[in-house]
A and B are shown apart, each in its own frame.
Chain A
C-alpha cells in the first residue's frame, strides 16, 4: 500500500472514532456487580414500559473507579441521574452546588420515609438524594461453635461478649473474624463502640468534625475496644486478608463471629448456612439509647444535568414503594421506603428491619460520615491500634491533628 492509501485509511478510521452517544435520560451507576446490575435492569425495564418515549442510556462502572471518575463529569458534563452515598460524602458535593434539590419529588411521597432515613439525605433543610436501599450491621455467628465453647445464647452486653470471646479462645477457636487489608472493617468497631459508650449524638458530632478525638470520651471508647483486642478476640493475621478472605475463617469453623454488613448474608456457603445466625451489637452502657449503622445508597440529579424533567420523573419512580420493593427483592438489601415489603422468610432481613426500625439513630458508616481525609487517617490508625492497642493515644492524636487541619 502507498503512503496516501494508508493516510486515507487512517483518516477514515479517525472519523469513525470521533462519535459520542447521547440520550434522553443518561444514568451513571456504580452498581456494577452482577446482582446489583440485575436489580437495576429489572426496575429499568419497568420504567421504560411506563415511559415509552424516553430513551434511557445507562453507564456502569465499579464503585472504586466511579469515585475517581465522578469528579471529571460532575462539575462539567454530568449525566441526568447518578448514584452515590448518603451522609457527609454527599454533603461535599451539595456544598459545592453540584446537586439538584429534590423537595418536590419528596412532597409527593411524604410519610413514606422514616425521619432517620431522611436525616441522611437532608442538608441545610433541603432534600437532595433519593435513598433506594440500606443495610444493617451486626454479628454473624456460628451457633455450633458457640455451643462447643459452652456459650449459652447470643451476647447481649459487652461483658457477655468478652466472656464469650474468652471461652472461644480457650476452646481453640478465634473468637472474632476480621480482615483489615482494606481498612474499613475496623471502623465498624469504632462506630459501634463509640455509639454504645458515648451515644449517637456525640458520635455524629465527632464525625462531622465538631468534636475532639483526644477527648476523654473517645479515649474511653478505645479503652473499651482494647479490652477485646487484649483478650485475643481478633486474629493477628487480619491485615493480610480482605473481609471476604477472612470470612473463610468462619466458614471453615476456625472463627466464631464476624461484625459485618448484611451483604455477607448472600455469601454464606450452603454447607454452613443452617449454623449461621445474627445478633445485634451488644449494649455497653445501659443508659445510652441504642443506635445502628445503616449505610444508604442513593440516586441524585446533578445540577448541570441536561434532561432534568426526565430525571425528576425517574426520581419519583424510584421513590415508589412497589419499585423499591422489586429492586431490593433482587439486591437482598432493605428498601428505605417504609411501605415497601420485604421477604419475611429471610431471617437476616427480618432482624435488620427490626433493629433499624427500633434504632434511636442511624449512622452511615465511619468513612461516609467523616471527612474523607479524617476517615482515611482514622481507619489506618484503627488497623494499627488493633495490632498495638497500647498506641491508642498516639493514634488518636494523629486523627485529631488531621481533623484540626481539615475543619479549621
Chain B
C-alpha cells in the first residue's frame, strides 16, 4: 500500500501520541540524570537537582560497556545474517514447494516457541559443554541463537513468502530456472520488506538477550552488553540512576538499526508483486 502525505493536524496528534507513548522512556531519561539519593528519597518525577551526565560516564566505565559493545556486535551480527539466510530458505520451502511435510514441519518450527525457554537452559548448557564443546565461547552463543530463532523466523518467512503469487514462480520453473535461482533471484528481492522487518526484530532480541549468554559464557571478557547492564545491580541496593543511564546507552544500536532498516519496510513495496 502506498503511504500518503499528511497535514499539520496529523503531526500534532502524532506528536502528542508519541509523548504519551514514550513517557516511560522519558521517565527513565529523567531517572538517568538524577543521583541515587534523590531517588531513594522518593523524588521520581521532579526535575534533577543538578543536571549532570555523570551517571552515563559511570555506567559506561563501571559496566565496561566499551568492551561489551564489541562482544554484543560480534554475537548479534553473524546471528542475524545466518538466521535471515536459513529462515528465508525454510520459508520458501514451506510456502512454495509441493512437499508432503510442509505443515508438519511448520508445526515443528512453532513448537520450539511454545515451551517456556527457561527450562531449556540447563539441557542446552550440557549440550554445549559436554557434546559440542562450545561452552564459554561466543560461537556457542551464536550457534544457539541461530537455532533458537529459526523457529519463529521460518514461520515468519513462510507467511510472507506465501503472499508471492504462485504464477510468477511457476512461470520461472517452466523457463527452466533452478529452485536456487528462483529463491535467490526472485523470492529474496520480493521479500526485502519482510527480511528488513525480521532483521530488526532479530537484532533487537539477540542484542537484548541476557539469560543465554549468562548460561553459555562464564568469562567476563566474552560477555555481551546486557551483562554490563545487569552488573550495575547490587545485592541490596538497586542503582536505578546507573541502570537507566546504561539502558539508554545499550538501546542506541537497535534503535539505529530500526531507523535504518524501516525505510525498507516501505520502499520494498514499490517493486511490489502487483505486476
Interface residue stretch chosen among A116-124, A141-149, A247-255, A394-402: A247-255
Q: Told that A17-B139, A252-B42, A271-B41 touch, could you supply 8 new A-B pairs with CB distance under 8 A?
A: A10-B81, A17-B138, A32-B234, A64-B233, A76-B129, A79-B218, A244-B237, A267-B40
Answer whether A69 and B214 are a contact pair too, CB < 8 Å, given A14-B139, A20-B136, A32-B233. Answer: yes
Chain B residue with the shortest CB-CB distance to A254: B42
**Chain A contacts to B: CB under 8 angstroms:** 10, 13-14, 16-21, 28, 30-37, 57-65, 68-69, 71-73, 76-77, 79, 242-245, 247-249, 251-252, 261, 263, 266-267, 269-271
Fill in one digit per residue for B201-236: 1 if any A CB lies within 8 Å of its CB, else 0: 000000000100011001111100001001111111
| Contact in complex: B234, A62 (CB < 8 Å) | yes
Chain A residue with the shortest CB-CB distance to B234: A33
Q: Which of B34-72 contact A (CB under 8 A)?
A: 36-37, 40-42, 58, 62
A17: chain B residues within 8 A (beta carbon): 74, 78, 137-139, 142
Answer whether A61 and B230 are a contact pair too, CB < 8 Å, given A68-B214, A248-B40. Answer: yes
Answer whether A251 and B42 are a contact pair too, CB < 8 Å, given A32-B231, A34-B62, A77-B129. Answer: yes
Q: Is B26 an interface residue (CB 8 A)?
A: no
Chain A residue with the shortest CB-CB distance to B58: A34
Answer whether A36 and B235 are a contact pair too, CB < 8 Å, given A17-B138, A77-B135. Answer: yes
Answer whether A248 and B235 are a contact pair too, CB < 8 Å, given A18-B134, A69-B215, A69-B218. Answer: no
A-B residue pairs, 6 tightest by C-beta: A33-B234, A248-B42, A17-B139, A32-B231, A263-B236, A17-B138
22 contacts between A and B (CB under 8 A): A10-B78, A14-B78, A17-B142, A18-B138, A32-B230, A32-B231, A32-B232, A33-B233, A33-B234, A34-B62, A59-B218, A61-B214, A61-B230, A62-B230, A62-B235, A73-B218, A242-B238, A251-B41, A263-B237, A267-B36, A269-B40, A269-B41
| Contact in complex: B62, A37 (CB < 8 Å) | yes
| Contact in complex: B219, A33 (CB < 8 Å) | no
B215: chain A residues within 8 A (beta carbon): 68-69, 72
Q: Smallest Cβ distance from B100 to chain A, in angstroms?
A: 30
Query: Number of B residues whose C-beta is below 8 Å from A?
Result: 43
Q: Is B239 an interface residue (CB 8 A)?
A: yes
A77: chain B residues within 8 A (beta carbon): 129, 135-136, 218
A18: chain B residues within 8 A (beta carbon): 134, 137-139
B234 interface neighbour in A28, A35, A59, Cβ under 8 Å: A35
Chain B residue with the shortest CB-CB distance to A248: B42
Q: Is B125 an interface residue (CB 8 A)?
A: yes
Distance, CA A18 to CA B230, complexed state (A): 24
B222 interface neighbour in A20, A71, A249, A261, Cβ under 8 Å: A20
Distance, CA A233 to CA B41, complexed state (A): 21
Q: Smallest Cβ distance from B73 to chain A, in angstroms?
A: 11
| Contact in complex: A65, B230 (CB < 8 Å) | yes
